[in-house]
Structure 1
Amino acid sequence: MNIVAQDVHMGTGKLKVMVKDTIDIQGFKTMSGSKAFEESLPAQKNAEVVEHILNADCTISAKTNLHELAFGITGINKAFGTPVNPKYPDLIPGGSSSGSAAAVAAGLADFSIGTDTGGSIRMPATCCGVYGLKPTFGRVSRVGVVPEQSSLDCVGPFASSISMLETAMQIIDPTFKKVVALQRAPKLAILNVAAEPEIWDSIHDFLQQAKLTATQVTAQYFDQAYQAGMQVINYENWQAYGELTKTGKVGQDVNERLLKAASTTLQQVQQAESIKDQFSAEIDQLLDQYDVLILPTLPQVPPQVVDAENTAAFLNLTALVRPFNLSGHPALSIPLETKNGLPVGLQMVAKHGADEQLCAVADFVVKAVAH
């Protein structure tokens, strides 16, 4: 299924885990889904997140495939093959953490680890119909994760339930203390953003089934935050991978994006930092009034693989996820479906550092629907 990049088999625990191949595992090459790293040396030591997993009751069975250099949103990888979306085989698995999401959806792992710089956990979680969490920026260690420097990237888990998502967080972030149960119904706000009607219909139906009400709110800087996040990603990815464009070993789609990213200036990044401050303050103000903000993860149903060859044409798919990479707030995607059985994600966003509360609210809402 092209989900596995490398078989690993480390640890002897009960929980089976797979790890995105941008994360160092001692003795294995960190390939980042690219032939440009075929001649690289094996990692000298484990990433800190891998150490946490091995020290818990876990077995790491494989490293997972991804969109090349984690610089794409479809999950299509010409170098090593595109992971098949287990639940929706005609649709993209989503990027960049495609293999990690597909592994959980296929039942190959109890939980998996991905990274999220501009939606790369939440997007494939939606595409593959599983749960995905982008923790608060800096909450989970990035030591031993490629690229070494990032202002936006977060390591986080995929799972088939909120409970397993919380278990994964307790393992990869020793400071994570699970909330036993909410003491009251959460105060919810729906962030007014642009998405296809069928996406909104699924979210409103879900909240209605949960018998929960939510207040409509707006964020003035939301669209600007989306653009600003791209400036930061482009600038930092060119710094990290620009030299690889000279090798001739980077796939055409990613190579072209890198070359285009080369024109991003430090001034643009500084302007993005200004937007970050304004947007973060705006979201913080809303989260002083509400427990979580709710919005779609993706603005539309994921495209079919045959239609998604041109990654750049589908960058709008990240319109609703990337702003929260810029702001650093924790964001979780809950899998839903349209009336026609196609994947939808309900995204929840909470205060900085309130990852436990975010999971607890998500659990409350999902259980309210189940009842």
Structure 2
Amino acid sequence: MNIVAENIQLGSGKLTVMVKDSIDIQGVKTISGSRALEDTAPAARNAEVIEHILNADCMITAKTNLHELAFGITGINHAYGTPVNPKYLELIPGGSSSGSAAAVAVNLADFTLGTDTGGSIRMPAACCGVYGLKPTFGRVSRQGVHPAQSSLDCVGPFANSVEMIETAMQIIDPTFTAQDSTAAPKLAWLKVQAEARVTECIENYLKQANLQVEPVDAASFEKAFHAGMQIINYENWQAYGELTKTGLIGADVQGRLLKAAETTLEQVQQAEQVKAEFTQEIDALLEQYDALLLPTLPQIPPKVADAENTVAFLNLTGLVRPFNLSGHPAISIPLETEQGLPVGLQIVTKRNADEQLCAIAKFVVKAAQ
């Protein structure tokens, strides 16, 4: 199914784990789904999150495939194959952590790790019908994660329940302590642009859960999306620009990198100003509400056959990317339309309130059952 990049048996224990192939495992090459990195040396040491997993008596069974260089949103990878979306066979698995989401969807692991710089955990989680958490920026170690330098990227887990997301977080972030939400949270609905069938699916779910939400606005939301794009483009060109000379990068990522080369420091500085404005705006909302709710994706994921042009589908990250800019933790809860198509409900809480985020997610899921 093109989910696995390399089979491994590392450690032992009750929980099985798979890890995105942009995270170092000692003695194994980290090629990030790119032929341009096939000749790279095996990793000299484990990433810090790998050490945490092994210390927790888990077994790592594989590295998972991804959108090349983690710089794409569809999950399509012509070099190593596109992971099949197990629950929605014709639809994209989502990127960039495609293999990690698909592995959980088909029960190949108890939990998997992905990375999220512009929605790369939450988006494939929504596409594949699983849970995916982007922690608060900086909460989980990026030591041994590629690219080495990123001001937006977060390591986080996929699983088939919020409880397993919490278990994974307790392993990869030793400061994380699972908690239960005893009182109904005060929830706000962040007004954003999304397809009617996506919004209706979430509205029906919230009605089933008997949850009240108050509509709120974030004036700089769209600006935050574009600012996040500027920063990731600039940083990825710094990290991978040299690889564009190899002739080994897939056409979609090659084109995006060459376009990213045009990003200026002035644009990045302007993006940093938007970051401060948007972060302040979301912080202010989260002083009034326990969590913000919105769709994970603005539309139903496209079919693989229609999604070759990554750039044409960048709007798919329109509702996830802003929270990479602000650094707030966000989780995607899997829902389905009446027609059996995947929709994600995204929940966002205060920075470093990852425990509260999971508790609210558990409350919402339980209320809808």
Q: Which of the five TM-score ranges fits, normalised by the shorter chain? A: over 0.9
Paired with 1:223 and 1:304, the residues of 2 have a C-alpha distance of 26
Match of 1:250 in 2: 249
In structure 2, the residue matched to 1:117 is 117
Distance 2:193 2:66 in 1: 28
Do structure 1's residue 348 and structure 2's residue 350 form an aligned pair?
Answer: no
Aligned residue identity for 1:278? E
Find the counterpart in structure 2 of residue 335 from structure 1: 334
Residues in 2 aligned to 1:111 and 1:183: alpha-carbon distance in whole angstroms = 26
Report the secondary structure of 1:288's partner residue. helix
The AA in structure 1 aligned to 2:273 is S
CA drift of 1:57 comes to: 2.5
Q: What are the superposed Cα offsets for residues 51-97 of structure 1, whole Å, 9 maximum, x if unpaired?
A: 00000021000000000000000000000000000000100000000
- 1:177-256 to 2 correspondences below 5 Å: 177-179=177-179, 181-256=180-255
SS in 2 for 1:120: coil
Query: What is residue 47 of structure 1 aligned with on the other side?
Result: 47
Residue 183 of structure 1 and its aligned partner are, at CA, apart by 2.5
Alignment of 1:1-371 (within 5 A): 1-179=1-179, 181-370=180-369
Amino acid at match of 2:241: G
State the Cα distance separating 1:338 from its structure 2 match.
0.9
The alpha carbon displacement at 1:8 in A equals 1.1
Paired with 2:14 and 2:86, the residues of 1 have a C-alpha distance of: 23
Amino acid at match of 1:61: T
Deviation at 1:182, TM superposition (A): 1.3
Aligned equivalents of 1:230, 1:256: Cα separation in 2: 15
- For these two proteins, the number of residue pairs brought into alignment is 369
Give the TM-score of the pair, scaled to structure 1.
0.99
DSSP-derived class of the 2:18 partner: strand
Q: How far apart in 1 are the matches of 2:103 and 2:299?
A: 23
C-alpha RMSD of the superposition: 0.4
Q: Determine helix, strand or coil for the equivalent of 2:288.
A: coil
Query: Residue type matched to 1:281 in 2?
Result: Q
Provide the C-alpha distance between the structure 1 equivalents of 2:79 and 2:122, rounded to a whole number of angstroms. Answer: 24
Whichever residue aligns with residue 148 of structure 1, its letter is A
Q: Deviations over 1:247-280 (max 9, x none)?
A: 0000000000000000000000000000000000
Matched to 1:238, the amino acid is W
1:339 CA drift (Å): 1.3
1:148-201, Cα deviation, whole Å (9 max, x unpaired): 00000000000000000000000000000110x212100000000000000000
* 4+ aligned runs moved over 2 Å, structure 1: none
C-alpha distance in 2 between matches for 1:19 and 1:295? 28
